[in-house]
Amino acid sequence: MPTVSSDHEPRPTEEPPLSRIITTALPAQGHTSPLLAVSADLAARGHEVVFLGGSRFAAAAERAGVGFVALPAGADFDDRDLDASFPGRSSLPPGPERLAFDARHVFVDPIPLQYRALLALLADFPADAVLADAFLQGALPLALSRPRAERPALIGIGVTPSMLPSVDTAPFGPGLPPLPGEAGRARNRALQEEADRRGEPLRQYAEKVYAELGVRLPEGPRGLAMVTVPDHFLQLTVPGFEYPRSDAPAGYRLIGALPGLVGDEQPLPSWWDEVTDGRPVVVVTQGTLANGDLGELIAPTVTALAERDVLVVAATGRPDGPGALAGLLGGTLPGNVRAVDYLPFERLLPHTDVLVSNGGYGGVQTALRYGVPLVVAGASEDKPEVAARVQWSGVGLDLRTGRPAPDEVGAAVDRVLGEDRFRARARALGAELAEHRPFDAIAELVESLGRC
């Protein structure tokens, strides 16, 4: 197996590390970035940390000041080109079919390789705790295979909207907000029974995968095991942005969202002064991964707002994005539109009046940290669930599609700009986010653990 870089072995003259910690995540940007941010914070506090993850994140781990071990090839992939690793995925429409494909091939199939890589790393680097992205399910056999006294503590980290099933929530996936009272619970029971029926083939498949590792998967939906098998589960959000669950297990905690990562300072564009010229500022983005087709959300938004007295900042998230967007619109951009490849969002969001987004979990919560209300249109992965939480929490509108028409976007932006309640709720949620200290919560938990 790859060994831990000697750059991260403690020097004889240094103080010994407080703890040895392994962090690990699926090799996808949205899963890896939060775990690397946690890793960097723990390392800065004096813990010795090694990150087990995708090979393309080796340099990022080095910048975070932590050791790095790559997942084996069969468990490694590049989320910027999922078709290369998972042929046939792109032919499935966003929604239940693609989610089922991902559940089997992206999340379940790599479990044995992930687990064996984790065991090999533990043999070389005996850790006190393992902090795992909830979707890296190869960490679960660590807790299923032996008592706590014979292994490190396992801490699950929820980097997407919570999948924990509950009598108070509909099953994860379609983006259905809670309904109050017994009528809501009856709906939830019926939907969960249907979800369990449809998910039974996948469950049986996962049971066989775990059985080959010598462990038994607990009864119940997959989302339940993700939360209840680890010794602790920390969800990266606040109560104001997550559905209440009266039956949540004791180890399940909402600890707040991680602050947005500033990263390397980027030069500001020549038109930057326009963001403070008095016009409302509307920012539209499809993130840095789901941006292969700018016609899904950015182009409809630009078209919808072309005649409005607003400044539209189209953050395309790709080097050729401004040119590609202009091509979709006949060769030129409207006069009130400024298109960029990348822009420091931590500089832009304080001046933003509305964010139009496809629903990335971290990006949405970063906007809320600045009190920015949202219009969300997302159809793939967990984005319908993020969008549903935006509307449920009162901080914006869910268009319930991943490819809205321009008039749908325009009407939603007009509502969010025109009704003060959205901005007020976004600011209230921003204040709630500011009250939480997720890095402190994680560090305090790690430092409270010892081998039992």
205 in the same domain as 230: yes
Rounded distance between C-alpha atoms, residue 440 and residue 39, angstroms? 12
User: How confident is the model at residue 13, as a pLDDT?
Assistant: 44
Q: How many CA atoms lie within 13 A of 96 on its CB side?
A: 7
User: How confident is the model at residue 8, as a pLDDT?
Assistant: 40
Rounded distance between C-alpha atoms, residue 206 and residue 369, angstroms? 38
User: How confident is the model at residue 261, as a pLDDT?
Assistant: 57
356 in the same domain as 290: yes
- Give per-residue pLDDT as tens, 67-83: 999 999 999 998 877 77
- Give per-residue pLDDT as tens, 283-327: 999 976 776 788 899 999 999 999 899 999 999 988 888 999 999
In a domain, 1, yes or no: no
180 in the same domain as 51: yes
| Predicted TM-score (pTM) of this structure | 0.90
User: How confident is the model at residue 276, as a pLDDT?
Assistant: 93
Q: Does the pLDDT value for residue 257 go beyond 70?
A: yes
Q: Does the pLDDT value for residue 431 go beyond 60?
A: yes
Q: Does the pLDDT value for residue 416 go beyond 50?
A: yes
First to last CA, the chain: 28
- Cβ burial 373-387 (10 Å sphere, 16+ → b, else e): bbbbbbbbbbbbbbb
151 in the same domain as 15: yes
Q: Does the pLDDT value for residue 10 go beyond 50?
A: no
User: How confident is the model at residue 97, as a pLDDT?
Assistant: 76
387 in the same domain as 297: yes
442 in the same domain as 425: no
User: How confident is the model at residue 450, as a pLDDT?
Assistant: 57
Q: Does the pLDDT value for residue 236 go beyond 70?
A: yes
In a domain, 279, yes or no: yes
User: How confident is the model at residue 291, as a pLDDT?
Assistant: 67
In a domain, 323, yes or no: yes
For every residue of 347-409, DSSP letters joined together read: HHGGG-SEEEE---HHHHHHHHHTT--EEE---STTHHHHHHHHHHTTSEEE-SSSS--HHHH
pLDDT band at 222; cut points 50, 70, 90: confident
Q: Is residue 165 left, alpha or beta, with left meaning phi > 0 and alpha meaning psi from -120 to 50? A: beta
- Give per-residue pLDDT as tens, 334-386: 999 999 998 888 899 999 999 999 999 999 999 999 999 999 998 877 899 99
280 in the same domain as 220: no
Query: Who wins on pLDDT, 405 or 219?
Result: 405
Rounded distance between C-alpha atoms, residue 54 and residue 68, angstroms? 10
116 in the same domain as 103: yes
User: How confident is the model at residue 84, as a pLDDT?
Assistant: 79
Q: What is the mean pLDDT of residues 390-414?
A: 97
In a domain, 267, yes or no: no
User: How confident is the model at residue 451, as a pLDDT?
Assistant: 43
240 in the same domain as 295: no
Q: What is the mean pLDDT of residues 242-249?
A: 96
CATH number of the domain that 119 lies in? 3.40.50.2000
Out of 26-30, 184-188, 278-282, 427-431, which region has the weakest mean confidence (pLDDT)?
26-30
In a domain, 121, yes or no: yes
In a domain, 264, yes or no: no
145 in the same domain as 291: no
Number of domains present in the structure of the chain: 2
pLDDT over 90 percentage in the chain: 75
SS3 call for 313: strand
In a domain, 262, yes or no: no
315 in the same domain as 218: no
Q: What is the DSSP letter of 444?
A: H
In a domain, 261, yes or no: no
SS3 call for 96: helix
Q: How far is the CA of 385 from the CAs of 180, 205, 380, in angstroms? A: 18, 25, 10
Q: How many CA atoms lie within 13 A of 246 on its CB side?
A: 6
- Give per-residue pLDDT as tens, 21-49: 999 999 998 899 999 999 999 999 999 99
- Give per-residue pLDDT as tens, 118-166: 999 999 999 999 999 999 999 999 999 999 999 999 999 999 999 999 9
User: How confident is the model at residue 81, as a pLDDT?
Assistant: 78
pLDDT band at 9; cut points 50, 70, 90: very low
Residue 10 belongs to what domain range? 6-256+436-448
pLDDT band at 1; cut points 50, 70, 90: very low
Mean per-residue pLDDT over the chain, rounded: 91
Q: How far is the CA of 94 from the CAs of 54, 91, 186, 384, in angstroms? A: 25, 9, 28, 10
pLDDT band at 265; cut points 50, 70, 90: low
377 in the same domain as 302: yes
Rounded distance between C-alpha atoms, residue 450 and residue 18, angstroms? 11
